[in-house]
Chains A and B, each alone.
Chain A
Amino acid sequence: MTGDERYSSPLSEDESTGSVVLTYGAPFLGTLLVAVGLAGGTLGGYAIAQSELGLCGNPTIVVYSPAETAQYTNPGGPTLERFSAAELTAGERHAFEEALRSPRQVADVRSEFVHRDAFRRGVLVTTGGTARYVTISSTNPCLSVDPLLFPLGVVAILLGILGILTPPLYRKLLEREERAGRTPR
């Protein structure tokens, strides 16, 4: 085989089927396992971390400016439930006020959310004589998957890495056997 062929031809003819399987098959299965493991491990791992770190269960509300609210108070528009700020629960009111202060006009409702259904449909909250349209922009539900996904995912990833590393490991094994003077299988 000439030098230029060595690097451009597909596979040398003396490569056995076993060699092809070890070179391409094992790493392919390994990569597949890593990909599946990443999916499962992420879900399982995050399900554990999410509730522990309090990353879920607090819906985000968005408060529209009085000008933007105008379209929801038109006579021909939808009929929305109206609240004064005092009617809201402490958690709801706190989130409402935080959203008013926030440049992004959003805030999380961090405690009891009694009027959740109304907020999901959209409500008009009046404070100081000004009505503002408020609605839930993201419910941030908690991830509910089997926590077993995490260890299974990790195992899949580890097995996958083993598969990916099969070709170099096999080469090293053969080299070691050759050095030891034994005939490689």
Chain B
Amino acid sequence: MNRAVIELSIFGTVLCSCWLVFWLSRRRATQPDGGYQSTREIDVDLETLKQTVIHWTTTTNHREVGILYILFGTFAALWGGVEAMMMRTELLTPSADIWSVETYNALFTSHGITMLFFFVTPVFFGIANYFVPLLIGADDMAFPRLNAIGFWLLPPSLLLARGGLPAQVVGQFLRLFGVHGDLFRFFWTLQEPELGWTLYTPLSIQSPNPQVNFLLLGLHLSGIATTLGAINFIVTIAYERGNEIGWEHLDIFVWNILTTSGIILFAFPLLGSAVIMLLLDRNFATTFFTPDGGDPILWQHLFWFFGHPEVYIIFLPAAGLMSFILPKFTGRKLFGFTFVVYSTLGIGVLSFGVWAHHMFTTGIDPQIRASFMAVSIAIAIPSAIKVFNWITTIWSGNIRLSAPMVLCISSIGMFVVGGVTGVFLATIPVDIFYHGTYYVVGHFHMIIMGIIPFMMFAASYYWYPILTGRLYDRQLALFQSLLLVFGSVITFGTLIVMGLLALPRRYAVYPPEFAPFQRVATVGAFLIGLSVLLWLYNMLWSYWSGEPVRTADVWGLKRTQQFTREWQWFEGRLEERYGVEPTEPEITRPSSTTVPGEGSPTVLRSVEPLLRTVPRIAFAAGIGGLVGTTLMSGVLFTATILGIFDLSSFSELAELVGARGVSVGYLLFLAGGMTTWALLFAVFAEYLPGRPRIITGLAYATIISVGFALAFYTGQTGLQLLGYVVFVLIAHWFYGFGLAVTFQYLSSRWQVEG
């Protein structure tokens, strides 16, 4: 089937339908807007049109540039979305009988590139452009012209990167009309690359398709645009804040944009360099990434040193929106604001230290792999801090299940599934098995679909009144949100299941036994597509025919004193333009207070002393662990002399972290006894059976001895095995005794509850 023509036709149909909705809704727009007649008339005479075009192409106003970014990103999202639907359509059947194999390869390449580079970042930049200056009390961005230039570099970069598709269509039309010659050859030769969005070498060097060169230039240009935007955000947030807004008063969304911009500053120039090197390899016979003279793996190192931070570049603004919007619908302040900021900064730093986990299967040095495994697992911690803070913010809050809130809660769920499946992938043995399967596709879509567009939709609903002066259709929005969640869970959950069943990814052809799963995933994807169309309809229709805003406090934020600066600006604007009087609710309460039953008091009161006592508990547990492990070592030493415990098991422990030797293994054993198991005891001591504490310690040690017995077993049989089990048990009782007694003594001495 002629993919190029069909894709452009579907995309064109979607855009035309948008225009139709726009036009129909405008005809029905008769209601007053803030007390004034709201017929947003469009004069179509040439002069007005000319002025409109000049205005929108030369504007440097941060809000208008923001809208341009959002429109551009939405355009790209629809384009990439059509490709996703086409891919899923192909996968309805096991063989490549709807699109050809080449077409399928081109589809998943361009889908990835479009969504990552031209959809997510521009939309978040758009939201940030509009709202960051409002949130920090700035008049505009620090460099308004640079801001506009940053945006206007994007359309040409999209054209360069995605020019293969229109070129193919032009080529086909030229052939249809019998046109040949150089012009025809130019258009006919360009086609969408079939490399995968990671552009792995040496395939990307060898591909004869000249469109790959344009794609690389387009990516480079988009990198320049993004870096310009990031510099502007950093300078704006640092120097353009209002007098009353210190660093401690920055909104959480602003913190996230600041961190994101910081990551961009280091990540995108690297992509630019790597892309230039690839261009040189392709066109000027350099050998950076060729097997003879260079190293194809070098490309992966450079690419992923950009690519993994890129994951957080697109995640952090979404996390910022979640942290910003969620409290508004729970009536409570964001729990642990400071820790959420620290986790954001932590992610920003750690994001540069995890790139090699994308390369576990490339045969890089095992010790290096182990280090990257450790860091990759560690980056789950700041992400988990965010999740726990979001959940705690919801906890016993006054929840209002509006569309943004439904999206927030669902996002947390999707993010947890995506995150946990990611922790497994960060583990080398699991990654080696699942790396090339749909498990990975399901995992990262759970995150990049489950939180990024979800939060964009949530933001579009939450700030819709500010953006348009209207209210959207609430019922349709709620329905659309639920449909989106349902479709996403079905689609990406199925992908994870297919991955667990070891179905390889990136293939147009697959074994027939997977057809039912693929069909379920496709129907889920169509549900996502339909929900996106419903969102578009709601946005466009409500722009003209939605309920006009009669108060700036649309969400009742004043009741919980969360009427943030952008809404205050909006209130002032409504009053100034339309004479809409500011409203004041009869009863207000702070979103954070120490009065029981209001705000988030109970948790806050219990957390503060907890923060003081936690270090003491941890220290007591550590000392207890040292005493216990030392006693345990004595028993194990005796067992070694008797020949029923083999010290080589310590060597195996050392090998797990890529080292060798009994002594290294013993140190690890000692460290584990002082940290992991001792801290677990400190946490669970209250819930374990037995009194006094010494009995608890013995019970705990008995439970964990099973794990030790299995992990340190070295093939003993018969009486040796019996002796091994008995000595393991005795050693653990000694451990439990030492741990419990020391812990009890220290915690009572320091007056802390274990």
Contacts and interface: CB of A to CB of B under 8 A. Distances in A.
Nearest to A5: B556
A103 B553 contact: no
Interface stretch (A27-35, A111-119, A124-132): A27-35
Interface string A52-87: 000110001000000010000000000000000000
B400 A35 contact: no
B551 A60 contact: no
A104 B471 contact: no
Contacts of B713: none
Interface string A22-58: 0110011001101110110011001000100001100
B708 interface: no
A148 interface: no
A36 B97 contact: no
Interface in A92-132: 102-105
B551 A9 contact: no
Given A24-B479, A140-B100, A38 B526 contact: yes
Contact of B530 (A31, A55, A138): A31
A38 B528 CA distance: 13
A9 B530 contact: no
Interface in B434-492: 471, 474-475, 478-479, 482-483, 486-487
A153 B663 CA distance: 68
Interface string B388-430: 0000000000001110000000000000000000000000000
Contact of A103 (B185, B475, B526): B185
B89 A56 contact: no
Given A50-B1, A105-B208, A7 B102 contact: no
Contacts of B551: 3-4
Contacts of B93: 43, 143, 145
Contacts of A38: 526
B547 interface: yes
Contacts of B583: 4
B555 interface: yes
B98 A8 contact: no
B651 interface: no
B25 interface: no
A162 to B, nearest CB: 15
A39 B474 contact: no
A102 B189 CA distance: 8
Given A4-B554, A35-B526, A138 B102 contact: yes
Contact of A141 (B95, B208, B471): B95
B530 A35 contact: yes
B97 A42 contact: no
B97 A31 contact: no
B97 A141 contact: yes
A10 interface: yes
B527 A32 contact: yes
A143 B554 CA distance: 53
Nearest to B186: A103
Q: Which of B475, B486, B519, B523 has the most chain A CB within a 10 Å cutoff? A: B523
A4 B555 contact: yes
A36 to B, nearest CB: 6
A50 B98 CA distance: 9
B92 A43 contact: yes
Q: Range of interface residues on chain A?
A: 35 or more
Contacts of B531: 31
Contact of A28 (B95, B189, B483): B483
A7 B1 contact: no
B538 interface: no
B400 A9 contact: yes
A142 interface: yes
B385 interface: no
B523 A8 contact: no
Contacts of B259: none
Contacts of B380: none
A39 B526 contact: yes
Contact of B556 (A4, A28, A39, A139): A4
A139 to B, nearest CB: 7
B482 A24 contact: yes
Given A3-B550, A50-B1, A39 B92 contact: yes
Interface in B211-238: none
B100 A103 contact: no
A32 B553 CA distance: 36
B109 interface: no
A142 B471 CA distance: 50
B475 A39 contact: no
Given A4-B555, A10-B400, A141 B96 contact: yes
A10 B479 CA distance: 11
Interface string A141-170: 111110000000000000000000001000
Contact of A104 (B189, B329, B486): B189
B188 interface: yes
A10 B101 contact: no
B260 interface: no
A138 B101 contact: yes
B600 interface: no
B300 interface: no
B191 interface: yes
Contact of B527 (A10, A35, A55, A104): A35
Contacts of A143: 93, 97-98
B97 A7 contact: no
A9 B402 contact: yes
Interface of A: 2-5, 7-11, 23-24, 27-28, 31-32, 34-36, 38-39, 42-43, 46, 50, 55-56, 60, 68, 102-105, 137-145, 167
Question: Top 10 nearest A-B pairs by Cβ distance?
Answer: A10-B401, A35-B526, A103-B189, A138-B100, A143-B97, A4-B556, A138-B101, A141-B97, A35-B523, A8-B555
24 contacts: A4-B583, A8-B329, A8-B554, A8-B556, A9-B402, A24-B479, A24-B482, A28-B483, A31-B483, A34-B526, A35-B487, A35-B523, A38-B526, A39-B522, A42-B92, A43-B93, A43-B98, A46-B1, A68-B206, A102-B188, A103-B189, A105-B208, A137-B101, A139-B96
Given A7-B474, A8-B329, 11 more contacts: A3-B551, A4-B556, A9-B400, A32-B523, A32-B527, A35-B530, A39-B522, A50-B97, A104-B209, A139-B95, A143-B93
